[in-house]
Amino acid sequence: MTFEDYEKTVPSFVPKGSIHWIMGNVHVGTSDAEVEADIRRRLAKNKNVPEDQIVECVKYALACHKENRELYRAVMSGRF
């Protein structure tokens, strides 16, 4: 499944624009664990976010991060 296909299935409560912007400012070398910790930290500020929604937000953030890594590799290898 491509990122574009996955993005169509993301639940409506996931703030896709905000997460996409955050991930656009994260270095491609940042580990997935660091990305997850950052998203969880940001969402912890709102105590009313249920765990299942946090999981979906983390999943989306990791998908964005993966997409950014793939774009970086394509550009650096000359395939872009």
Task: Give the range of the structural domain holding residue 15, as residue numbers without chain letter.
Answer: 3-77
Please give the DSSP secondary-structure letter assigned to residue 40.
H
pLDDT at 36: 98
Which pTM value belongs to this model? 0.92
Give the tokens for residue 36: 């997850």
Q: How many domains does the structure of the chain reveal?
A: 1
pLDDT at 1: 82
Task: Check pLDDT > 80 for residue 80.
Answer: no
Q: Is 75 helix (H, G, I), strand (E, B) or coil?
A: helix
Entry field: residues in the chain: 80
Tell me the per-residue pLDDT of 1-20, one tens digit each, with 9 for 90 and over: 889 999 999 999 999 999 99
Tell me the per-residue pLDDT of 22-65, one tens digit each, with 9 for 90 and over: 999 999 999 999 999 999 999 999 889 999 999 999 999 999 99
